[in-house]
Amino acid sequence: MSTKKIAVLPGDGIGPEVTAEARRVLEWFIARRKLDLRLDEYAYGADAYRRLGQVLPKATEEALHAAHAILFGAMGGMDGDAIPRAARVAGGLPHVRRSLELFANLRPIVTIPALYESSSLKNRLLQGVDFVIVRELIGGIYFGQPRGIEILPNGERRGFNTQTYTTSEIRRIARFAFELARTRRRQVCSVDKANVMEAGVLWREEVQALRDAEFPDIELRHLYVDNCAMQLVRAPAQFDVVVTDNIFGDILSDCAAMAAGSLGMLPSASLGPVDQAGRRAALYEPVHGSAPDIAGRGIADPLGAILSVAMMLRLSLGRPDDAALLERAVAAALEGGARTADICEPGRAAVSCSEMGAAVLRELDRLS
Ligand code: IPM
Ligand code: MG
């Protein structure tokens, strides 16, 4: 067994704070569970731009391609105006995802009973919530051409983007969702806007055709995205696997996060295609983003980043038992009363980002 390289990119905003805690957790597994990993940190984001003149420096980009897996903090929000738009786009997260061909983004939403009170939804709606949003990550309106801002003959400006999906792009993500559903409750809900958009008509037809041809054992239904947004807050327990496009997945996952108590709780994995050697590029990041309003104050919730490590253990490191151990440790830390500000009920004292990390490490020691 050779040492696997993990590229760590703390990035912008609260990225460095939460990644430091995720890293401590990963180091616990290296030390205590004989995980043979090397963690190397690389410059990325506003800080990299300030120091090296590039949001995504060449050495970082090369490390991303060479890594067995990537632990990513956050990008954006900081110094937005100080970095020219072209430099931000060239090194931005959408570019990183695309250059690694990370087409499948998994965002699991699981409710933890200790956090029912932190959710904006009623307790009775939260029981049994356990679903995954499978978001297509490198197509659609995020990348479609033409795009731009132009000046019209009458002097007005016009901004435009293009929603586009091909058969193979749709089938690739749908196949991923169906295969995932086979390891779960075998229910897939596909989300589109087929009542208005041609790209949505094609999406629906292709997802259904693939299901009929190759996945007859999977129960498939289709929802329009507006209805899905409503269903996510009306009855979130109805979902198993939700598959959708890039922008709908972006929006619906923030919405769904409230079932888990806070956006700060959501982990994610972004995966590429499996190559001939059976390997796939993989990037693990909390869903919350850079949160510039609270950056540098040590109050961010590291659990989204820490639960992303659990996803890495399961999906890239072949350690399902360690992943489950980490998830149990997170639940136990919450049951023990540790709460960062975002999940703290009124009248309870909040812990800091690093205290939350320490609480998880204590539970790992206790449970292992
Ligand atoms: C996300 C984020 C990103 C996205 C931003 C930071 C580009 O909101 O991962 O959900 O829109 O994909
Ligand atoms: Mg988002």
192, 250, 301, 322: the catalytic one is: 250
Is 182 found in the same domain as 69?
Answer: no
Is 84 found in the same domain as 2?
Answer: yes
Question: Annotated catalytic, 342?
Answer: no
193, 284, 322, 342: the catalytic one is: 193
> Is residue 306 a contact partner of residue 297, using CB atoms and an 8 Å limit?
no
Is 256 found in the same domain as 126?
Answer: yes
Q: Is 12 in the pocket of ligand 1 (CB under 6 A)?
A: no
Is 368 found in the same domain as 278?
Answer: yes
For the stretch 147-199, pLDDT in tens is 999 999 999 999 999 999 999 999 999 999 999 999 999 999 999 999 999 99
| DSSP letter string, 231-292 | HHHH-GGG-SEEEE-HHHHHHHHHHHHGGGT-GGG---EEE----TTS---EEE--TT---G
Which one of 222, 240, 260 terminates a domain?
Answer: 260
Please give the single-letter amino acid code of residue 346.
P
CA–CA separation, 23 and 71 (whole Å): 8
Specify the residue with its C-alpha closest to ligand 1, atom 4: 250
Contacts (Cβ under 8 Å, ≥6 apart) of 63: 5, 7, 40, 42
Question: Annotated catalytic, 34?
Answer: no
For residue 170, what are its two tokens?
Answer: 């749709």
CATH number, domain with residue 319: 3.40.718.10
Is 185 found in the same domain as 140?
Answer: yes
Is 147 found in the same domain as 234?
Answer: yes
Is 328 found in the same domain as 301?
Answer: yes
| Domain-embedded: residue 111 | no
36, 40, 212, 226: the catalytic one is: 226
**Number of helices followed by number of strands (H, E) in the chain:** 13, 12
| Domain-embedded: residue 274 | yes
For the stretch 224-233, pLDDT in tens is 999 999 999 9
Question: Annotated catalytic, 254?
Answer: yes
pLDDT at 2: 86
For the chain, list residues with pLDDT below 50: none
| Domain-embedded: residue 325 | yes
CA–CA separation, 224 and 210 (whole Å): 19
Is 132 found in the same domain as 248?
Answer: yes
Percentage of residues in the chain having pLDDT higher than 90: 96
pLDDT at 78: 60
Is 24 found in the same domain as 89?
Answer: yes
pLDDT at 77: 77
pTM of the prediction? 0.96
Specify the residue for token string 């190397």: 40
| Domain-embedded: residue 88 | yes
254 CA distance to ligand 2 middle (Å): 6
Q: Is 144 in the pocket of ligand 1 (CB under 6 A)?
A: no
- In this structure, the number of other CB atoms found within 10 A of the CB of residue 59 comes to 13
CA–CA separation, 72 and 269 (whole Å): 10
Pairing state between β 37-41 and 69-74:
unpaired
> Is residue 305 a contact partner of residue 265, using CB atoms and an 8 Å limit?
no
| Domain-embedded: residue 115 | no
| Domain-embedded: residue 361 | yes
pLDDT at 81: 65
Surface-to-core class of residue 52, CB atoms within 10 Å of its CB (0-12 exposed, 13-18 middle, 19+ buried): middle
Question: Annotated catalytic, 44?
Answer: no
302 CA distance to ligand 1 middle (Å): 18
Q: Among 78, 89, 250, which is best to mutate for testing ligand 1, by the most ligand atoms less than 8 A from CB?
A: 250
Is 347 found in the same domain as 297?
Answer: yes
For the stretch 108-129, pLDDT in tens is 999 999 999 999 999 999 999 9
Is 27 found in the same domain as 139?
Answer: no
Specify the residue for token string 């695309």: 98
Specify the residue with its C-alpha closest to ligand 1, atom 12: 250
pLDDT at 80: 58
Surface-to-core class of residue 209, CB atoms within 10 Å of its CB (0-12 exposed, 13-18 middle, 19+ buried): middle
Q: Which domain holds residue 286?
A: 1-105+267-368
